[in-house]
Amino acid sequence: SGMITIDPGYKNTGSCESAITFLDGEKGILRYRGYSIEELAEKAEFLEVAYLLIFGHLPNKEELERFHNDIKAESHVDEEMKKILDGFPKSAHPMGVLSSLTSALVAFNPGSVNVSSEKDMYWAIVKILAKFPVLVAWTLRKKKGLPLDYGDDSLGYVENIHKMMFKKPNHKYETNKIVIDALDKLLILHADHEQNCSTSTVRIVGSSHAGLYASLSAGISALWGPLHGGANQAVLEMLEAIEADGGDTKKYMAKAKDKNDPFRLMGFGHRVYKNFDPRAKIIKVAAEEVLADLGIDDPILEIAKGLAKEALEDKYFVDRKLYPNVDFYSGIIYRALGIPTEMFTVMFALGRLPGWIAQWREMRLKSEPIGRPRQVYTGEKQRPFVCLENR
Ligand code: CMC
């Protein structure tokens, strides 16, 4: 009732109170439950961060072990789900496949929908943290023509994900600490980012009391877009295009500034950060370290660094406070780890899963009302119906 203020893109509208993630876009600060992202990326493991985001405190050894054991006990997916995966062409984009499979999980876990107690919620959460990595691995393996496998309970959460994705039949699975640590760090840096497009989607779908998995499936769809999580794939494709074009970064800078050209510098700019995205800072250093440690000399890293340097000195980008965001350097690491470009946004989803869950849980525990924005009507005034023969 009364005056309705319109705020396209909700640039200035708060949708909730939240105690999960603190973000100061002017200063470039990001904290999960009060802990700085720099410290968590350096010292914590992804599963600890997941627990922290969802339950609000860092787990002690016993809590973490119980959580991990519960996840291991649920890390199987109904075999019928393979038939659904089977129906997709190999060329299907993994994000579309995963949002469908996540939605399909509801049918096989109907108890996850009407969560009337914290215990019900806990098991819905444990199950998706256990099963989503299996679906991710299956999606990649189908693309590669590899048999669909299950995980290995003896491994850590992240190493197990890596093994499920990459193990080849009749080959001993081998990885190294550099790869797993890099993956762990990237997942932590993506784990939550307050009320972004996909998280707001999860909360608003969940606010109708659709179940957790339906809400997550919607979140995955929201993340897919190139203005959001899909930017990491778009960045790498852009860098490859620049490389193929002889490394002419100036040409692409000019395109990005040209208001008649829809091209944007992918991986640049952010709704909230008007200063360095703290995640991009960490990922840039990590990309250099991982490539050096793995002995990879990737010309794309040089192109990215050159592009960033030019943009940071350019009046257009400076005036608009456009800095590299989380997606700018992450693909360079994924590529070094052998992850196909089409899977980059899936890696983002894997990382963001605990954040989406934490936000959904917070919303449900606070019994927030259904999300239902208003509008200002600008259409026709009332007019009489015209019969088909008279039109
Ligand atoms: N390249 C060129 N110009 C840009 C860019 C860019 N990447 N980003 C913003 N601008 C310009 C925009 O044209 C506008 O200029 P003007 O004031 O002259 O009209 C001004 O900067 C403000 O941009 P906006 O589109 O009003 O800002 P927004 O808050 O609505 O959009 C954004 C934020 C992230 C969608 C946008 O910066 C963008 O499209 N970036 C490229 C895609 C990208 O990297 N997305 C990942 C975001 S970070 C993490 C995630 O969500 O995955």
- Asked if the structure places residue 11 within a domain, the reply is no
Same domain, 197 and 248: no
Task: Confirm or reject: Cβ of 196 under 6 Å from ligand 1.
Answer: yes
- Out of 336, 357, 384, pick the residue that ends a domain: 336
Same domain, 89 and 141: yes
Task: Confirm or reject: Cβ of 267 under 6 Å from ligand 1.
Answer: yes
Atom of ligand 1 nearest to the CA of 320: 21
Q: How many CB atoms lie within 10 A of CB 57?
A: 10
Pick the catalytic residue: 190, 192, 270, 277?
270
Residue 32 — φ and ψ, nearest 5°? -100, 120
Question: What's the number of domains the chain is made of?
Answer: 2
Q: What is the pLDDT along the chain (391 residues), one digit of tens a residue?
A: 578 999 999 999 999 999 999 999 999 999 999 999 999 999 999 999 999 999 999 999 999 999 999 999 999 999 999 999 999 999 999 999 999 999 999 999 999 999 989 999 999 999 999 999 999 999 999 999 999 989 999 999 999 999 999 999 989 998 889 999 999 999 999 999 999 999 999 999 999 999 999 999 999 999 999 999 999 999 999 999 999 999 999 999 999 999 999 999 999 999 999 999 999 999 999 999 999 999 999 999 999 999 999 999 999 999 999 999 999 999 999 999 999 999 999 999 999 999 999 999 999 999 999 999 999 999 999 999 999 999 9
Residue nearest atom 32 of ligand 1, based on CA coordinates: 270
- Asked if the structure places residue 327 within a domain, the reply is yes
Identity at 30, one-letter amino acid code:
L
* CA 230 – ligand 1 centroid, Å: 14
For the record, the structure tokens of 7 come out as 């705020």
Show Cβ contacts of residue 176 under 8 Å, excluding neighbours closer than 6 positions: none
DSSP string over 201-260: HHHHHHTTT--HHHHHHHHHHHHHSTTTTTHHHHHHHHHHHHHHTTS-HHHHHHHHH-TT
270 an active-site residue?
yes
209 an active-site residue?
no
d(CA 360, CA 115): 12
- Asked if the structure places residue 173 within a domain, the reply is yes
Same domain, 173 and 88: yes
* CA 261 – ligand 1 centroid, Å: 14
d(CA 15, CA 388): 44
d(CA 66, CA 286): 31
**What ipTM score was computed for the predicted complex, to two decimals?**
0.97
For the record, the structure tokens of 347 come out as 């890696």
For the record, the structure tokens of 135 come out as 């679906």
Beta bridge partners of 46: none
Same domain, 241 and 282: yes
Same domain, 162 and 51: yes
The whole domain housing 295 covers 231-336
Task: Confirm or reject: Cβ of 270 under 6 Å from ligand 1.
Answer: yes
* CA 72 – ligand 1 centroid, Å: 40
- Out of 317, 336, 355, pick the residue that ends a domain: 336
